[in-house]
Structure 1
């Protein structure tokens, strides 16, 4: 089975993807790792490459091609990136979108990157706007269209183990032979 985990920065996708892959005995491939490899190949830091990608569409296209290649070649894999659900195409067996309110995501990024929360929120908003524009321009993808996902999960009130438990429960109950055209399962723990 090929499972994709997508979502915006700070949603918990990397943490969840690693833990889910370990739980299922699958391999894990991160779009972030592929991006860092691409940056190293070009002699740049990831931040430098991200800035460069705003004016050079080949950066995103190379990254996305690598994601598509991995998806086409592998089974028993958890593939994680913002566009993994889209890039895996027909190879994906189960697509997950993780999200949380911007304040929660900014706090997580702030702690992870040791920067002020306000700065993390500003950078996260700017990055998301830039990426959304590029995805639409390059591929005609509306990143806000969640209809391709089998599971949409708000991670704001779950710890990492809870996120993995929720995903695993739905993956284990998933019936790929079910009715076509079903809407995705949406799990929102905000009360």
Structure 2
């Protein structure tokens, strides 16, 4: 199976994707890791590369191309990035969207990046606005449209282990053809 885990910064997607991959014995590929590889290939720091990405759409497009290639080439993979669900296209078996309220996400980001919560909140909101405009401009994707996802989960309601447990259950019970009611999976959305 190819599973995708998407969501905004601070939603817990990296932690959940890693835990899900470990639990299922799958490979985990993070869009953030691919982004870091692209920065290293150009000899740039992450902050330098982020600034360049805002001016050069080839950077985002290169990252997204690599994610699409991984989705097409690999099985037993958990692909994680903001657009993983979109980039995996028809190759994705189960698409998951993780989110949490902005104050929760800002606190998580502030903790991991050792910065004030207010600063993390403002940077996160600015980044989200910039990314939403780029996704719409590049691909016509409305990042707020969750209709492509099979499962949307508010990670503020559960800890990392519980979130991973929920995702493992969803993956283990996934039926590529139908749900118990006989409806095609593409017509069914599960939200907690």
Q: TM-score range by the shorter chain?
A: over 0.9
2:135 paired residue number? 135
State yes or no: 1:126 paired with 2:126. Answer: yes
The offset of 1:183, in angstroms, is: 3.4
**Alpha-carbon distance in structure 2 between the residues aligned to 1:46 and 1:8:** 18
2:165 paired residue number? 165
Q: TM-score, normalised by structure 1?
A: 0.96
Q: TM-score, normalised by structure 2?
A: 0.95
**Alpha-carbon distance in structure 1 between the residues aligned to 2:73 and 2:137:** 27
Q: Deviations over 1:80-137 (max 9, x none)?
A: 0000000000110100000000000000000000000000000000000000000000
Query: Counterparts of 1:74-113 in structure 2 under 5 Å?
Result: 74-113=74-113
The offset of 1:172, in angstroms, is: 1.6
**Alpha-carbon distance in structure 1 between the residues aligned to 2:87 and 2:97:** 13
The offset of 1:156, in angstroms, is: 0.3
**Alpha-carbon distance in structure 1 between the residues aligned to 2:20 and 2:188:** 23
State yes or no: 1:185 paired with 2:175. Answer: no
**Alpha-carbon distance in structure 2 between the residues aligned to 1:47 and 1:152:** 30
**Alpha-carbon distance in structure 1 between the residues aligned to 2:112 and 2:30:** 17
Query: Does the 8 Å CA contact 1:98/1:155 hold for their aligned counterparts?
Result: yes
Let me know the Cα RMSD of the aligned residues.
0.8
Number of residue pairs aligned between Structure 1 and Structure 2: 187
**Alpha-carbon distance in structure 1 between the residues aligned to 2:146 and 2:191:** 10
Query: Does the 8 Å CA contact 1:147/1:183 hold for their aligned counterparts?
Result: no
2:69 paired residue number? 69
The offset of 1:184, in angstroms, is: 1.3
Query: Does the 8 Å CA contact 1:151/1:184 hold for their aligned counterparts?
Result: yes
Q: What secondary structure, in the 3-state scheme, does the structure 2 residue paired with 1:48 have?
A: helix
**Alpha-carbon distance in structure 2 between the residues aligned to 1:31 and 1:73:** 16
2:19 paired residue number? 19
